Amino acid sequence: MNKKIQRSLAVVSAAALVFGVAAAQTSANAAPKTVYLAYQGPLSGGEASTGTDEQNAVKYAIKLFNAKNKAKYNVKLVSVDDQGDPAVAGTVAPGIGKNKAILGVVGPAYSGATIASLPFYKAGGLALISPSATRVSLTDPASPDFGGPIFHRVVATDDKQGPALAKWATNGNKAAKVFVFDDQSSYAVPLAGYVTAGLKKVAGASLVGTDSVPNTTTDFAPTIAKIKTSGADVVIYTGYYSQAAVFIKQLRDSGSKAVFAGGDGVFNQEFPKLAGVAAEGSRITGVSGLMDANPKAEAAFKKSMGVSSGVYAVESFDAANIFLEAILKGNTTRAKVLAYVKAYKGTGIGGTTYQFTANGDIKGDGFSGFESVKGVLINKGPVK
């Protein structure tokens, strides 16, 4: 056993201290205890890339943990594919809710799927930490969607992002004329609402037009016509990066010089890659990714997983680690894990401080403003 310990030490030296504590707590010859965590998100279907990225980060966290603690714990991941679809979530969630071996769920990734899953997890007392479900109502006790007490998230909500996006988009523009449009998704429509509300608090800014474009659209000519007619000099899109890339190209090709801004749906290094030069100068709000937050960790990730980290990698990784720490502290029942999460206070890999409010949100509103410069989204610091 000692040799094993030494090998582990050699592999992950940073974990030495933690390991020592853990080793002291277990009896010498006990077999490693198998515990289960789940990741829930879209792993197949049209949204699968988001889910795959998130799950990779979770897998990475577990891989590190198991390597460190192989004597004590063997954490296994249950992949729960809800396709991002509330209908599918309603079918898979009962099974997960009932399976008491699963101690915690990283996810669900999408708000709609979360709402559909909640009743089953509430009944099972299963703690959730979502890396990406941003809908405000999930942590609003007055809403029917309220996820308390089991729902937590390590991502800031739309009502914090909306004003931040409004500010960042109009930064340096004393009399901004803003056009806001969404992609009709359950993520984009509410966010557009918070952006509109946030604009009212920005001095000199005015809302000059809106649109709502199906998320399968590739021809934005009518929207661009509206933007031109409205005379907007700032355009905010609250949907996702792939459509944003198509749109910004068309906007630039139409000759418009209006500032383009988007929220964390657009916040993806793929965005400037897809959009090319048209993306230059676009302003995006988001929370730093792994690459940006911790390049060393990113390199280790790529080495271990064989792919680069993707969207919500930091959030997913941190969410998984909160559960893993709970397990390491010997919390191996759902109730204990939930209690541990609620009382958790710690720092994530990107330096974010996590502490959940009573409703499941993280304290603080750490949105940063990014700008697309030469094909890369550069962090310009927190939006104030």
Partner 1 sequence: MFEVLIDQFWSLTIAGVALGFIYVLVSLGYTMVYGVLRMINFANSEIFMWGTFGTIVTSRDIFGYSQTSAPATGPKLALVLFSQLLMSMAVAGLTAVFVEFVAYRRLRAKGTNRLATLISAIGISIVLSELMRLLTDSRPVGSPRVLEKIILTEVWGANIRLDTVVTIFAAAAIYFLLERFVKLSRMGKAIRAVSMNEDAAKLMGVNLNRVITTTFLVGGLATGAAGFFYITVFEYTKFNIGFTMGMAAFTAAVLGGIGNIRGAFYGGLFLGLLEVYASAVLGTQWKAVTVFIVLVLVLLFKPNGLFGEAVQTTRA
Partner 2 sequence: MKIRNYWNLRDFGANIWEKATRTQRVAIALTSILLVGLLPFMGGSILATPIASFDAVLVYPVGMFVLMSLGLNIVVGKSGMLDLGYVAFFAIGAYTMAILGTTTKMNTWEIMPIGIALAMIAGVLLGIPTLRLRGDYLAIVTLGFGEIVRLVVLNSSWSKGPNGIANIPMPPKIGPLKFELENQKVFFWVVMAMILVTIWMIRRLTVRRPGRAWEAIRQDEDAAELMGVPTLKYKIWSFTLGAAVGGAAGVLYASKNLYIAPEMFTLNVSILILACVVFGGIGNIWGVVIGATILGYLPDRIRFISDARLLVFGIVLVVVMNFRPDGLLPRKKREKKIIERDDNLLKLENVTMKFGGVTALNGVNLEVKRGEILALIGPNGAGKTTVFNVITGVYKQTSGTVTFDGTSLGNQKRYEVTALGVARTFQNIRLWGDMTALENVITATDVHKKSGLVGALFGFPRASIEEEVNRERAHEILRFIGIDQYSDRLAKNLPYGVQRRLEIARALGTSPKLVLLDEPAAGFNPAEKVELAATIRKVRDAGYTVLLIEHDMSLIMGISDRVVVLDFGTKIADDIPSVVQKDPRVIEAYLGVPADAS
Where do contacts with partner 2 occur on this chain (CB under 8 A)?
Answer: 43-45, 48, 78-81, 85-87, 90-99, 112, 115-116, 118-120, 123-124, 135, 137, 143-145, 184-186, 188-190, 212
Number of residues that bind partner 1 (CB under 8 A): 38
Helices and strands (DSSP H and E) totals, the chain? 14, 14
Residue 197 CB, shortest distance to partner 1, in Å, is 20
Q: Is the peptide bond before 149 cis (omega within 30 degrees of 0)?
A: yes
3-state helix, strand, coil in the chain (%, to 5): 45, 20, 35
Q: Which of 100, 200, 201, 273 binds partner 1 (CB under 8 A)?
A: 273
Residue 380 CB, shortest distance to partner 1, in Å, is 22
Q: How far, CA to CA in Å, does 156 sit from each of 42, 197, 249, 301, 335? A: 20, 17, 29, 24, 25
DSSP letter at 362 equals B
Distance CA 328, CA 297 (A): 22
User: Is residue 211 a contact point for partner 1 (CB under 8 A)?
Assistant: yes
Region from 68-76, 100-108, 161-169, 247-255 binding partner 1, contact rule CB under 8 A: 247-255
Q: Contact at 8 Å (CB) between 100 and 118?
A: no
User: Is residue 308 a contact point for partner 1 (CB under 8 A)?
Assistant: no
Which positions from 213 to 232 touch partner 1 by CB under 8 A, shown as an x/- string?
Answer: xx-xxxx-xxxxxx-xx---
Distance CA 126, CA 128 (A): 6
Residue 242 CB, shortest distance to partner 1, in Å, is 4
Q: Report what 253 binds from partner 2, partner 1, none; CB cut-off 5-8 Å by kind.
A: partner 1
Tell me the angle at which helices 48-68 and 295-305 cross, rounded to the nearest 10 degrees. Answer: 90
State the chain's maximal CA–CA distance in angstroms: 75
User: Is residue 184 a contact point for partner 1 (CB under 8 A)?
Assistant: yes
Residue 303 CB, shortest distance to partner 1, in Å, is 20
User: Is residue 48 a contact point for partner 1 (CB under 8 A)?
Assistant: yes
Q: Report what 130 binds from partner 2, partner 1, none; CB cut-off 5-8 Å by kind.
A: none
